Amino acid sequence: MEAALDAYRVVVGDRTIDELRALAAPLRGRRVQNINATRVGGGVAEILHRMLPLMRELGLDASWDVLEGADEFYRVTKAFHNAIQGDPVEIGPFDYEVFLRWNRKNAERIDLHGDFVFIHDPQPAALVERRAPSARGQRLIWRCHIDASHPHRGLWSFLERFVRRYDASIFSAPQFTQPRLPVPQFLVAPAIDPLSDKNRPLEADEVRAVLERFGIDPARPILLQVSRFDRFKDPVGVIQAYRMVKATNDCQLVLAGGGASDDPEGAEVLAEVRDAAGNEPDLHVLELPPDAHLTINALQRAATVVFQKSLREGFGLTVSEAMWKGRPVIGGATGGIPLQILDGLTGYLVSSPEGAAFRARYLLNHPEAANEMGRRGIEQVRQNFLLTRNLCDYLLIMHAVTRAEATTIRL
């Protein structure tokens, strides 16, 4: 049987796969433990689901533990998430207490057994407290996936007490790094899996069937945003942009999303979106189950223009997902989105509903320019945002943190 990793050769070339095998060989048998807050929903879970089997194929003993918590914990961690991304959120002593209590409770259940422990995002950051003094040689890495460019100062001081006890940290974009953090900071952009159901090629019939299922007209242009219902993704701003476009161009808007088990605000935001959408027949708000990968794939392929009009964004996997399908993407000029969208070349960066509408109208009226952007987007993603590159970065970081003092690493 063809090894799963070899299936990527046709997409990324032989050299990339050979390099991965060479980098992984000295790490064979090492335990790579990942810990995050949710198994479904959101970009972190999306990447871990796809990356762990590849790590295992490379001979690493890769595992994934998920935090458990009650509503109070997720309410606090969502507030932390919003505050790190710059929302003026009130955080009090009780919130810190809830956060620590649940981290300590989880530490009793989740043993930090990995040779390399990747702890994703703020929710489990305090697990580092329980690092066993006997586990010498173990490396703990804090992987921050969110936009930490302007964090709530009080909250960041609190979190930094934990983060500084890690052996290294990883951020998605240069502006998220922390000037005073006394541990190495690595930059790794997230990535998409070209062979997953979310991104693999689809037959035209499969795409058509999805449109039919939701009553979307395949004959008229489709504007799309795929996102959790989260205010930072600005779904209401997308509706405003769509209404401006609709005044001059016949088109449809699809807002497709679901929730994440660690995001308690989803239902509230969905209600706001439904309210803003009203009963307009060309405006489709789709609530999707967590495993709707093929549906999202089909919607992205059917779209004429894809939005990711975020106001804050750690990376925005949905941008690369749409670009990989040859779609021009209009994204918020924030966080990791400008890493992906080369403004005017693979899509447009915008800062307002008016800007989004202006660019969308241009793309609808200039299909050749839109196609050309889409073609460039595919190459931009192939070069920079595929899973194999992310895996390669993680392997390099494992080598680097194992030999923290070395200036040269011989493999």
Of the pair 112, 192, the CB lying nearest ligand UDP is at: 192
Nearest to 214 by CA among 299, 290, 289, 271: 299
Between residues 42 and 221, which has the closer beta carbon with respect to ligand UDP? Answer: 42
CB of residue 2 vs ligand UDP: minimum separation in angstroms?
A: 25
State the nearest-atom distance from the C-beta of 41 to ligand UDP, in Å: 7
- SS3 assignment, position 142: strand
Give whole-number Cα distances, 301 to 211, 223, 374, 387, 411, in Å.
Answer: 11, 11, 11, 20, 41
The answer to whether 384 and 189 are in contact (CB under 8 A) is yes
Please, what is the minimum distance in Å from the beta carbon of residue 189 to ligand UDP?
A: 11
Is the CB of 139 or the CB of 143 nearer to ligand UDP? 143
For tokens 């305090």, the residue is 126
Residue 290 DSSP class: T
Instruction: Sheet containing 283-287: give its strands across.
Output: 283-287, 252-257, 222-226, 305-308, 329-332, 347-350
Closest contact distance (angstroms) between CB of 235 and ligand UDP is 11
- Cβ 249 to ligand UDP shortest distance, Å: 26
Give the nearest distance from C-beta 43 to ligand UDP in angstroms: 3
Nearer to ligand UDP, 69 or 335 (CB): 335
> Residue 45 and residue 407: Cα distance in Å, rounded?
34
Residue nearest to ligand UDP (CB): 43
**Binding residues for ligand UDP (CB under 6 A):** 42-43, 46, 198, 226-228, 257-258, 288, 292, 296, 315-318, 321
198 or 359: CB nearest ligand UDP: 198
Smaller CB separation from ligand UDP, 210 or 292:
292
C-alpha 216/C-alpha 57 separation (Å) is 41
Closest separation in Å from C-beta 288 to ligand UDP = 4
Under DSSP, is residue 273 helix (H, G, I), strand (E, B) or coil? helix
Provide the CA 73 distance to its chain's centre, in angstroms.
22
Residue 358 C-beta: closest distance to ligand UDP, Å: 23
Q: Nearer to ligand UDP by C-beta: 30 or 120? A: 120
Q: Determine whether 42 is exposed, middle or buried from the number of CB atoms within 10 Å of its CB (0-12, 13-18, 19+).
A: buried
Nearer to ligand UDP, 114 or 237 (CB): 237
Nearest approach, Cβ of residue 345 and ligand UDP (Å): 21
Nearest to 399, CA basis, from 101, 154, 115: 115
What is the sign, positive or negative, of the torsion defined by CA atoms of 225, 227, 230, 233? negative
3 state DSSP class of 338? helix
CA-CA distance, 49 to 83, in Å (whole number)? 27
